[in-house]
């Protein structure tokens, strides 16, 4: 005769709790906005009544950066051609300054810096869903510009 062991109630509870916490953790890690210190200039979350004019979304950007930024945004909107080989490549968010998303979600584009002998430090980073960020200091700080 084969004896069956009774299920351990505590083990079942631990497994159930682990499943619930894993689901909660996955939801939280994909959805939360970063801390205010991590992303400077981000507007508060929530639906907007209407999209602001294109120029107002760039208000936090220094005026001398805007012409090159607008040029890069126009190239992104029409799909290129881009002046730099790295434009359109995956931005990995290693610094963790943008909201955490799956690998490949973000793409980066160069914003030309007048007088720079290389790509310079200015970039646009755009997410698959259209969330668009600008950095003038090579990923140290970001300003959200799509809203």
Q: Using an 8 Å Cβ cutoff, are 100 and 114 in contact? A: no
CA gap 14, 10 in Å, rounded: 6
For residues 116 and 113, what is the distance between their CA atoms, to the nearest angstrom? 6
| ω into 81 cis (within 30 of 0) | yes
CB atoms within 10 A of CB 85: 9
User: Could you list the active site residues?
Assistant: 108, 138
List the 89-91 sheet strands across, edge first: 89-91, 106-110, 123-127, 132-135, 143-144
What tokens were used for 136? Answer: 């003038």
């Amino acid at each position: 005769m084969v004896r069956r062991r009774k299920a351990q109630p505590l083990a079942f509870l631990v497994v159930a709790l682990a499943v619930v916490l894993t689901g909660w953790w996955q939801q939280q890690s994909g959805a939360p906005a970063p801390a205010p210190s991590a992303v400077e200039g981000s507007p508060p979350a929530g639906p907007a009544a209407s999209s602001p004019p294109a120029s107002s979304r760039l208000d936090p950007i220094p005026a001398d950066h805007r012409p090159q930024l607008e040029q890069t945004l126009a190239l992104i909107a029409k799909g290129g051609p881009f002046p730099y080989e790295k434009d359109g490549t995956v931005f990995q968010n290693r610094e963790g300054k943008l909201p955490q998303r799956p690998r490949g979600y973000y793409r980066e584009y160069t914003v030309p810096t007048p007088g720079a002998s290389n790509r310079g430090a200015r970039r646009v980073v755009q997410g698959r869903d259209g969330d668009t960020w600008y950095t003038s200091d090579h990923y140290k700080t970001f300003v959200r510009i799509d809203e």
